[in-house]
């Protein structure tokens, strides 16, 4: 199958400011994107998506009748649209407000002001999420890989699961925290664990320690996908607990694919 390129993308731009819409559209045109529909509100975005689903949604954070998170959650909660990548364009610096987008499956966060290089990088991340390139392994087929996916955010799980499905992985068991993951690990075997860091009851660090200290599971590779700053005190020593790879939220599908290939 021929791969999509940036110029193939049809984008829904949600931007209440005509000036900002013109700036973003100009950058998109410079990136060879010609298919752009522009709306100004959450209501208009939902109507346009129902009428004509886009390849990628690019949205401001603050809108007259809500915010970009309303659109993101609307997309991720609809099975017919859940695979559409969502890019946030915002000057917001509050980590608490941005965290909600990261946990809901945002593909990329583009800070204002941005330049053409930043935009194209974010578009390429979105393309990776649309890519259905199968995971290539030496010892067995991608569809034989058994993944335990652990995250307390259902939307985040759906986002990661879609990327794994695009790689050809078919056996994906979900758990909403470390405690539930332990039950799954006792009931069946897995080839790899993909886990969040911050979770209630039992977080990713505690889960990783259990996996490593239990002889029956000590061999299982662990990828931790987290919105935590990787230089933070929380994650400074996380690899000492047995985590094999760390990946940021929002993540690159290409990066996750290469991590899984390397670990397996």
pLDDT of residue 238: 67
Q: What's the confidence (pLDDT) of residue 237?
A: 62
Domains 6-130 and 142-263 share a fold: yes
Question: Residue-wise pLDDT tens for the chain (264 aa)?
Answer: 456 788 889 999 999 999 999 999 999 999 999 899 999 999 999 999 999 889 999 999 999 999 999 999 999 999 899 989 999 999 988 888 899 999 899 999 999 888 889 899 889 888 888 876 788 887 778 899 999 999 999 999 998 998 899 899 999 999 999 999 999 999 999 999 999 988 888 888 899 999 999 999 999 999 998 877 655 555 556 666 778 888 888 888 888 888 898 888
**Domain 142-263, CATH number (from 2.60.120.10, 3.30.70.1400, 3.40.50.2000, 3.40.50.2300):** 3.40.50.2300
Q: Quick one: DSSP state of residue 133?
A: P
* Alpha carbon distance 226, 196 (integer Å): 5
* Every domain of the chain and the residues it spans: 6-130, 142-263
In this structure, what is the dihedral angle of CA atoms 106, 107, 110, 115, given to the nearest 10 degrees?
Answer: -170
What pLDDT, on the 0 to 100 scale, is given for residue 4?
75
Residue 234: partners with Cβ closer than 8 Å, 6 or more residues away: 197, 228
The residues, any chain, with a CB within 8 Å of residue 252's CB and separated by 6 or more, are 125, 128
CATH fold of 6-130 reads Rossmann fold (3.40.50)
In angstroms, the CA 62 to CA 17 distance is 10
With 0.85 as the threshold, say if the pTM is over it.
no
């Amino acid at each position: 199958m021929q791969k999509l390129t940036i110029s193939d993308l049809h984008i829904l731009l949600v931007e209440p400011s005509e000036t900002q819409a013109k700036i973003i559209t100009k950058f998109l045109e410079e990136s060879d994107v010609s298919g752009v529909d522009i709306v100004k509100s959450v209501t208009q975005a939902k109507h346009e998506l129902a009428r004509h689903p886009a390849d990628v949604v690019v949205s401001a954070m603050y809108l007259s009748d809500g915010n970009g998170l309303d659109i993101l959650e609307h997309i991720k909660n609809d099975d017919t649209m859940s695979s559409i990548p969502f890019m946030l364009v915002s000057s917001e610096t509050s980590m608490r407000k941005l965290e909600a987008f990261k946990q809901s499956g945002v593909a990329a966060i583009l800070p204002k002001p941005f330049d053409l290089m930043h935009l194209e990088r974010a578009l390429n991340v979105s393309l990776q999420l649309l890519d259905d390139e199968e995971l290539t392994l030496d010892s067995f087929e991608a569809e034989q890989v058994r993944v335990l996916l652990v995250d307390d955010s259902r939307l985040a799980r759906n986002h990661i699961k879609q990327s794994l499905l695009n790689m050809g992985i078919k056996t994906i068991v979900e758990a909403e925290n470390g405690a539930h993951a332990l039950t799954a690990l006792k009931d069946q075997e897995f080839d790899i664990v993909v886990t969040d860091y911050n979770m209630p009851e039992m977080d990713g660090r505690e889960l990783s320690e259990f996996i490593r200290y239990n002889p029956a599971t000590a061999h299982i590779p662990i990828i931790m996908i987290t919105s935590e700053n990787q230089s933070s005190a929380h994650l400074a020593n996380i690899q000492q607990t047995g985590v094999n790879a760390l990946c940021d939220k929002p993540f690159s599908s290409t990066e996750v694919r290469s991590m899984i290939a390397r670990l397996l």
